[in-house]
Structure 1
């Protein structure tokens, strides 16, 4: 599960970078066109820099997923990182849906799909982390190591 979550994050990061080729269309499709136009009025490079920053964050999330699944070098605070990433994704997905209902906005199909994808990735990280770091019943790892 962590490996799948990691690769999905790499795909998202890559799509952000490729999307910069058609930045205006990408921003409109993802529903952030208005915000990016406002950001560009401050400085024309801000939307691009923000997209690159977001892509870097998705890459880091991907690395943590692969690291926790032992497919990549061990990263610091792997267990904390995995659960933090899971929380970010789940909060983003559920929060968007609740916020739209609270504001009595019409929830568009794209917003709903993005929220569900976010929740799904969060669940991948959460379940993968719980599976990887499941506490053993009765005997702790330290007690098990002493007996060996």
Structure 2
């Protein structure tokens, strides 16, 4: 079932779309500033730094946005929407594992980000779980298909 081209394409297209939205939200923080950082749950310290014009919040948002954009590109590559990128099946598995670790590993991460609320952790972990599973289903399908 997982090696059906429709399942692979759908799964990786969903992964690409959700990851691209996450990237766009991170990029929006650069242009909107402190209100966007607050809305997305970055914490008051980061929001205050953004209000003061400090470079760090925008830099981190940019780096995360670039990483997420590249992951969305790999999902599109695996879905066959764009030309195949190098090591696509391996990259898709690695990306899936990172999202899944983020989804279930939040208790280990909470102490590093004490300002983030329980709601933030549960919502973002749920989103990461969905995205991670979409990447994983697509990656498994690609491996079985090849």
TM-score range, shorter chain: 0.7 to 0.9
1:63 counterpart (73, 97, 117):
73
1:86 counterpart (74, 77, 96):
96
Q: In the TM superposition, what are the counterparts of 1:89-128 in structure 2 within 5 Å? A: 89-97=99-107, 108-128=118-138
Counterpart of 2:86 in 1: which secondary structure?
coil
The runs of 5 or more residues in structure 2 that have no matched partner are 1-10, 111-115
How far off its partner does 1:30 sit?
Answer: 2.6
Partner residue of 1:132?
142
The runs of 5 or more residues in structure 1 that have no matched partner are 101-105, 136-140, 142-148
Which whole-Å CA distance do the structure 1 matches of 2:109 and 2:20 have between them? Answer: 28
Residues 46 and 94 of structure 1: CA distance in aligned 2, closer, same or farther (over 3 Å)? same
Counterpart of 2:105 in 1: which secondary structure?
helix
Aligned residues: 131
How far off its partner does 1:71 sit?
Answer: 0.6
What is the TM-score normalised by the length of structure 1?
0.76
Residues 17 and 98 of structure 1: CA distance in aligned 2, closer, same or farther (over 3 Å)? closer
What is the TM-score normalised by the length of structure 2?
0.77
Partner residue of 1:4?
14
CA contact (8 A) 1:24 1:33 kept: no
Point out which structure has higher relative CO (alpha carbons under 8 A, 6+ apart): 2
1:18-56: per-residue Cα shift (whole Å, max 9, x none)? Answer: 23232212222233224525866xx81121111111111
CA contact (8 A) 2:34 2:48 kept: no
CA contact (8 A) 1:97 1:112 kept: no
1:21 counterpart (13, 25, 31):
31
Q: Rg: which structure is higher? A: 1
Which whole-Å CA distance do the structure 2 matches of 1:107 and 1:44 have between them? Answer: 23
